[in-house]
Structure 1
Amino acid sequence: MVDALILTGTGRYSDPWHAYSETSPLLAELARAAGFSPRIETGADGALRRLDDGVRLLVINAGDPEGPDSVDPTGTRTPATEPEEPVASLAEGDAALASALDRGIGILAMHSAAASLRDYPSYERALGGRWVRGRSWHPDFGEAHVRLDPEHPLAAGLRDFAVDDERYTDLRLDAEIDRLASHEHDGLPYPLVWTRDLGRSRVVYDALGHDPRSYASAGHRELLARALRWLREV
């Protein structure tokens, strides 16, 4: 029985820069190794609307390059492009996600997921941080040194590691996070991976994962394996 959904970037959640069709199967492999039975979903909005009690893990591996970066005075985000689903259906999907967060679910958000699902306030609140156009950025793709926080329980016994990737930088942090990994640029530290406990639910955001080369790093794979096992405890 499927108990994990991987929302992969297609339609308005796709972009020219990220190979979601290549990275989502790699995430599915990691999820299976952690004990989940995953299914890759190409229609994120529809999958969220159909979210049921059997889903224990939700992986967001998608973007939203045309999405807005600010809310209107009522707190509602207005899509920059016409949504593929009716607004009422988006609201149903958000209600289903809010219900899942209340009952207990694990969420793993990868890389460009910091700029995705902007029509879902429940996701916005759960994630704890956002990519903001005009503020957030990343150094050129290349080898990066990832530093683990020795105080975080998921880092116990692990060493810092190298990875070929993009390092998202200057994300807007909206809530308290538990930093698991970071990188430095021009002598300043920036969070790369964080965790959050949300009542019965748990969230992991990983700013790495630009393309398959990221998953070739043994250190990154092990970090994701630990994150997925932690999420499985929900």
Structure 2
Amino acid sequence: MRALIATGTGRYADPWHPYTKTSPLIADVLREAGFDVEIDEDVDGAMTRLEGVDLLVVNAGDPWRSETTEPLPGASVDGLHAALERGIGVIAVHAALSSLRDYPDWPGAIGGMWVPGISWHPPLDRVRIAGDALPDGTRIDDFDVEDERYTRLQAFGERMVVARHETEGESQPTAWVRAHGASRVAVDALGHDERSWASDGHRALFAQLARWVTSRD
């Protein structure tokens, strides 16, 4: 199985998330799960190189915060669309909920977005994640992690929440899965920085998501 991690640099970088440090940690998880992994630091370019890729992981930020005004290449939009049409597996990590804003397919594919001024998170802290089960019945264990708790994300379409956390006493989705045409898609709202990937439970969750989105059973 081939995995490609599109990593936030340039207009997809931000001051808060060390994407070039967390992407190698994500790659380690995927390699342990049996994937051949490539890290691509050109997000838009990566979307033109998805032929033959089984799993696309987006670990990148909000391009609309950038001062860069270069137009998005049409080949990038077409590349992501074609990959989703053929059934590529996708995982959106943390700030990817605010990324790829210029790609028409992205919000509907991942089933949710960070809405500026509405979505928020408390300060990064140690948090308990309550696991549920994937559609195939695979159980996700509860675990602790040092991370942000994304809250009040906008949801699109149907999705199956497979892990949750609490913010101010209210349950919030930490991870969910869904189908988008021929593709299986997962969102992992964790992954702010290196501390998140030090959690064995988070690493196990991510590996489970990767196996599910690339499975055709």
Instruction: Report the Cα distance in structure 2 between the residues aligned to 1:4 and 1:115, rounded to whole angstroms.
Output: 21
**Corresponding letter in the other structure for 1:102:** E
Larger mean CA deviation between 125-134 and 34-43 belongs to 34-43
Residue 147 of structure 1, CA deviation: 1.0
Contact 2:11 2:68 (C-alpha < 8 Å) held by counterparts: no
What do residues 15-67 of structure 1 show as CA deviations (whole Å, max 9, x unaligned)? 11011111000111111122221111111111112332x11110000001635
The question of 1:11 aligning with 2:3 is answered no
Q: TM-score, normalised by structure 1?
A: 0.86
Look up the match of 2:127: 144
3-state DSSP class of the match of 2:47?
Answer: helix
Instruction: Indicate the SS of the match to 1:205.
Output: strand
The reply on whether 1:224 has 2:206 as its aligned counterpart is: yes
One-letter amino acid matched to 2:64: E
CA contact (8 A) 1:155 1:180 kept: no
Matched, 1:161 2:143: yes
Aligned sequence identity (%): 49
Q: How does 1:31-180 map to 2 (within 5 A)?
A: 31-52=30-51, 54-64=52-62, 66-67=64-65, 81-84=67-70, 86-87=71-72, 89=73, 91-150=74-133, 153=136, 155-156=138-139, 158-180=140-162
Q: Which of 1 and 2 has greater Rg? A: 1
1:55/1:151 CA distance change after superposition, 3 Å: closer
Tell me the amino acid that sits aligned with residue 35 of structure 1: G
**What is the alpha-carbon root mean square deviation over aligned residues?**
1.8
Instruction: List gaps (5 residues or longer) in structure 2.
Output: none
Residue segments in structure 1 that go unaligned for 5+ positions in a row: 68-79
The CA distance in 2 between the partners of 1:229 and 1:27, in whole Å, is: 14
Residue type matched to 2:194 in 1? P
The TM-score, its normalising length taken from structure 2, stands at 0.93
CA, structure 1 residues 154+215, in 2 after alignment: closer, same or farther (shift >3 Å)?
farther
